[in-house]
Structure formats: structure tokens, C-alpha cells
Amino acid sequence: MNETNISLKEKISSLEAKLQEFMQKPQQNNTYKFEPQQTQMKMNQQIQQIQPQQVAITKKPVFLQTIKQNIQKFIIKNLIIYFRYKTKFGDKVAFLFYPLLGGLGISRKSYREYGDSLHILKEIQRSKPDIKAVVIFNVFNIQITLVDTGLQKVFLQNTKNYSKAEGPFGARFVFGLGLVKSEDKIWARQRSFLSNIFHFNALKDRVPAIKEITKEFLQNIPSDGNTPVFIIEELGMKVNGLSPSVEISKIILDGFKYKANSFPYSLKLMIFGQEKALRVLNTEFEKNFIKRVENYNLFIEEIIEKRLNCLQNTSETSKVSENFLNQNLLEYIKQQKALKEKSKQFADYELIHKREIAHQFSTFFFVGMDTTANQTDEINLAVTDFDQLKHEDLSKLEYFNAFFKESLRMYPTAPHTIPRVSACDHFVDDFFIPKGAIINSVTVQYNEQKFPSMCKDEGTFNPDRFIDKNVVQDHFSFIPFSAGSRNCIGQHLALIEAKESHQAKKIKSE
């Protein structure tokens, strides 16, 4: 028995020595053959051969052994990826490390030390004009932020190799069925349907309605220019004791904070993955948070139900306002009537559900509020009579367009595109993306050497830089609304709303 134990211990020691040797051994040349699957397969086979005897000898819990094996596997994978990038791209790829939290930890550190969550990534861009990407290791995962505009173009025009990452804790319970988080056929159906509503010509026809709503609202708020106003709060609505605009913002912020600071949740992510981590071994905070989000969803569904009842009792639907909520509900009514006649005429992905409409409502409410809320300075606009304002007048506001773009450059609503998870090993142009990596891209560039017109004195707020329409020489150097097939569908509406609200506010204050 002792001889057997000694033999098994020798096997274990031999395997650990090989792993250690592999991790410390420098790369011999620039043309090594990358075979991570074969390497991992051999390691797993050796582990499986000795694991039963190893448990008997060490008496360690299986759970701890699993964690140890996962750590070894991830360390090997991280090192292979590191040497692959370093060998091919050298200093054109920047490497950062933050245990467990990865990019979220880097952002938190950046904010604590510099007061700007993007400072560290901005400095990398400023100091390295030829930077292709920033790769962040957190031991258990690899996060890749693409900086090179050529790589961004290829990445944003291809969605088939990815699924969307989780985002802040609980975000899927608020937006999961909406356009931002949906996938595949459901996303394609939603995008096609909403494209008709947010088409430029459709928005142009809605300018008078937007103008009247803006005018009516501004007549009921203080004119001192200093009093903060939340639109739905003005209508007397509350959810979880707060106005919906405040509560949805706090839900997202609290979700980010929890994900950044909770070690138990980080451990669950490591062991179970993002799908199961939300639902197993929930802490008291998680249970209360999920309940809070459900209360918010029920509140939104109550609003939707009231609107639905009104539409069902409307005989002339052609006169109904063509906003996205009404159009979703009219399509829902149409589907329900059709299902009564023939129950199986729609595929599952074609059906619209009330919870989906609620998530869609929350999506546009949140992102629309965040996009236009920062545009607060008064601007000398070209129209002095708000009642006579037309869509053609809005197109004349060139300085406002420049101001709007500069605001988004200095204070981007989304400094990165929505992160995605790589579904397989593949390449973005010549850049290797491993399976399981979380990947996104920057939306604003900060290197003056590479983008001199747009990035000159980039720390100074200067709308004049955008007066020259050729300042953005590379389209992918400034994509505050993202780009490709998954760009922001409401970007034209955001600009129209911002222009009209500022024009109305200016006239009201005069």
C-alpha cells in the first residue's frame, strides 16, 4: 500500500512539475504551433487517471480540487494567449491584470485614483498610437477591448460568433427581453419591427407631436434653469418609493456596484457561469434586489396594461399616435386576434409578450433619458418661434450638432460597445479571439498623433472641432451610438428630442 501511495505521489509531483515548467518556459521562436485543445486534453487525461487515488491520499474535498484544477487550466490558457499576442503584436497589445473583477476592477481603480473610470484606458490610447487592443486578465477569464479602428470595423459588422455578456447584476431582469439584450431571431424580429418606427422619415413626420409634448411639459416646470426635473415624477408616479427615472438608474448602478464588490457573486460566476450565477445560492441582497426589479417590472406592466385597454377600445387605430409603445401594443393585439382564429400560425420567436414590451419600454426609457440628459447648455438656435418650428429648421442647427457631438465625445453615454462573449475560437481580421473571451470596443479615440483633428486638446470641451465635417476622418474613431447592424436604433430620435427641448427651453427663458 505504501509503495502504491509513493507511486501516485510521484505521478502527481511529476504532473505539477510539468505544469510549472510549461508556465515558466519562455517561447523559443515566433512560429510555434498553437494547440490549446490538445494541451488541455492531455492534461485532463492525466488528471483523470490519478484523481481517484489522489482524493484517497490527500483527503481534500472534491470542491477544492475542482477549484485548483480550474485555476491551473485558466493559468495555462492565459499564458498561451499572452505569449501568442506578445509574439505577434509586441507592444501593440497592452496587458492589464485585476483578480476576479478584470475590467470592472480596472475601472474602479481608475476612478478611485484619478476621478475618471476611463483614465487608465485613455492613457494607454494616448501613449500608444498603434495600439490594437487592451487585454485584461482576471485569472478566470480574458477581456479584450479593441482600440484599432480596422479591428473595430470587422468586429462590429459580424455578430454570428458572439452572444451578449451579462452586464451589471440583474440587468437581464430589466432589459433581458428587449432589443439591447435579445439574440438571434428574436433580435432580428424586434430590430425589423422597430426600424420602421425609428426610420428617419417616420421621425420627421413626428416632429409636430414631439414639439407639442415638449411645449406642454415645459409650461409646467420651473423656469429658473436650476431645478432638476424627472419627467414621470412630474406625473405623480412612484415605484419602490422613487420616481421611475431615479429607480431604474439606481437599479443599474446598484447592480454594477454589487458585481464589482461581491466576492461570493464573483465566485459563483467562476464556478457556475453567468447563466446559473443569477439563480443559485442567492444572498439576501440578491433576493431583495430581484424582488425590487420585479416590482419595477410590474409597475411598467401596469402602465402598459392601461394603454392596452385604451387601444382595445379604440375603433380607429389609424389615428393612434405612432410611438413605439403604441405600435408594439397594436401588433400584440393583432397577434392575439390571429391566435384565436388559428393557434399555431406563429413561430415562438415571432410572438410578442407583455413582459417583452415592458423590457422594451424600460430599454428606451433608460437609454433615451441618459443620452439627452447631459445636453444642458443654452445655445443660440436659428429659430425664434417655437410654434413655427419644422423639421427643416432642425437641420440648420449646425452649431448645435457640433455641441451635441462634443458632449458625447467628452462624456460618452457608452464609452464601450455592449460586451459580447466569444462563442468559439476565431479571428477578427488577424487578431485571435479565444472561446469564452469577453470582447468589446471603444467608441471614442483619444490619441492626438493618430487623430489630430478630433483629438487636439482632447481634454478641453470645444464644439468648434466638429464644425469641420471632415474632422472624423475615420468613421470608427467616433461611434458614440456604436456601428454596424447593432448600432443604436434611436440615435436620430435622441438628436431631434435634444434640439426641440433646447429650443423650447431657450424661448421659455426669454
Whether residue 314 is contained in a domain is answered as yes
**Whole-number Å distance between alpha carbons of 156 and 393:** 33
Beta strands in 381-434 (DSSP E): 420-422, 426-428, 431-433
Based on the domain organization, do 72 and 176 belong to the same domain?
no
CATH number of domain containing 395? 1.10.630.10
Whether residue 125 is contained in a domain is answered as no
Whether residue 191 is contained in a domain is answered as yes
The pLDDT value given to residue 95 = 94
Based on the domain organization, do 191 and 314 belong to the same domain?
yes
Whether residue 497 is contained in a domain is answered as yes
Calculate ∠ Cα 203-247-275, nearest 5°: 90
Residue 344: pLDDT band by 50, 70, 90 thresholds? confident
* In the predicted structure, residue 114 carries a pLDDT above the cut 60: yes
Based on the domain organization, do 42 and 179 belong to the same domain?
no
SS3 498: helix
Q: Which residue pairs, CB below 8 angstroms and at least 24 apart, start in 10-19?
A: 11/49, 11/50, 12/50, 12/54, 15/43, 15/46, 15/47, 15/50, 19/43, 19/72, 19/76
- Cell numbers 426589479 label which residue? 293
In this structure, of 29-43, 64-78, 446-460, the range with the lowest mean pLDDT score is: 29-43
> Mind listing the pLDDT tens digit for each residue in 366-375?
765 554 444 4
* In the predicted structure, residue 430 carries a pLDDT above the cut 60: yes
Residue 477 and residue 405 in contact, taking contact as beta carbons nearer than 8 Å? no
> Mind listing the pLDDT tens digit for each residue in 166-193?
778 888 888 888 887 888 888 888 888 8
Residue 270, Cα to own-chain centre: how many angstroms?
A: 20
Whole-structure pTM value: 0.69
Based on the domain organization, do 49 and 176 belong to the same domain?
no
Rg (alpha carbons) of the chain, rounded to whole number: 27
Q: What is the mean pLDDT of residues 357-372?
A: 72
SS3 per residue for 48-88: HHHHHHHHHHHCCCHHHHHHHHHHHHHHHHHHHHHHHHHHH
Based on the domain organization, do 72 and 181 belong to the same domain?
no
CB burial class (10 A; 0-12, 13-18, 19+) of residue 362?
A: buried
The pLDDT value given to residue 13 = 59
**Whole-number Å distance between alpha carbons of 163 and 338:** 32
> Mind listing the pLDDT tens digit for each residue in 283-334?
899 999 999 999 999 998 888 888 888 888 877 766 666 677 888 888 888 8
b/e string for 274-297 if b means 16 or more Cβ within 10 A?
A: eeebbeeebeeebeebbebbeebb
> Mind listing the pLDDT tens digit for each residue in 68-80?
666 677 788 888 8
* In the predicted structure, residue 146 carries a pLDDT above the cut 90: yes
SS3 per residue for 310-338: HHHCCCCHHHCCCCHHHHHHHHHHHHHHH
Kindly tell me the number of DSSP H helices and DSSP E strands found in the chain: 20, 8
Calculate ∠ Cα 161-132-420, nearest 5°: 30
**Whole-number Å distance between alpha carbons of 487 and 404:** 18
Based on the domain organization, do 184 and 72 belong to the same domain?
no
SS3 422: strand
Residue 295 and residue 239 in contact, taking contact as beta carbons nearer than 8 Å? yes
**Whole-number Å distance between alpha carbons of 15 and 12:** 5
Whether residue 105 is contained in a domain is answered as no
**Whole-number Å distance between alpha carbons of 183 and 37:** 28
The pLDDT value given to residue 371 = 47
CA atoms within 13 A on the CB side of 210: 22
Closest Cα partner for 178 from 165, 169, 191, 166?
191
Number of compact structural domains in the chain:
2
Whether residue 397 is contained in a domain is answered as yes
> Mind listing the pLDDT tens digit for each residue in 81-90?
899 999 999 9
Based on the domain organization, do 223 and 342 belong to the same domain?
yes
Dihedrals phi, psi of 322, to nearest 5 degrees = -90, 45
- DSSP per-residue letters across 150-178: HHHHHHHT--TTEEE---STTHHHHHTTS
Alpha carbon distance, N-terminus to C-terminus of the chain: 95
**Whole-number Å distance between alpha carbons of 260 and 266:** 8
> Mind listing the pLDDT tens digit for each residue in 465-476?
888 777 777 788
Residue percentage of the chain with pLDDT more than 90? 15
**Whole-number Å distance between alpha carbons of 146 and 484:** 15
Q: Please say which residue of 77, 92, 107 terminates a domain.
A: 77
The phi-psi region of residue 276 (left if phi > 0; otherwise alpha if psi is between -120 and 50; otherwise beta) is alpha
Q: Which domain holds residue 349?
A: 171-417+479-509
Whether residue 401 is contained in a domain is answered as yes
Q: Which three cell numbers stand for residue 486?
A: 447593432
Based on the domain organization, do 72 and 190 belong to the same domain?
no
Dihedrals phi, psi of 317, to nearest 5 degrees = -70, -20
Based on the domain organization, do 325 and 203 belong to the same domain?
yes
Whether residue 396 is contained in a domain is answered as yes
**Residue ranges in 198-342 assigned as alpha helix (H):** 200-205, 207-218, 231-234, 244-261, 263-277, 284-312, 324-341
The pLDDT value given to residue 155 = 92
Residue 447: pLDDT band by 50, 70, 90 thresholds? confident
**Whole-number Å distance between alpha carbons of 347 and 89:** 47
Evaluate the CA torsion angle 231, 237, 242, 244 in order and state its sign: negative
Dihedrals phi, psi of 94, to nearest 5 degrees = -100, 140
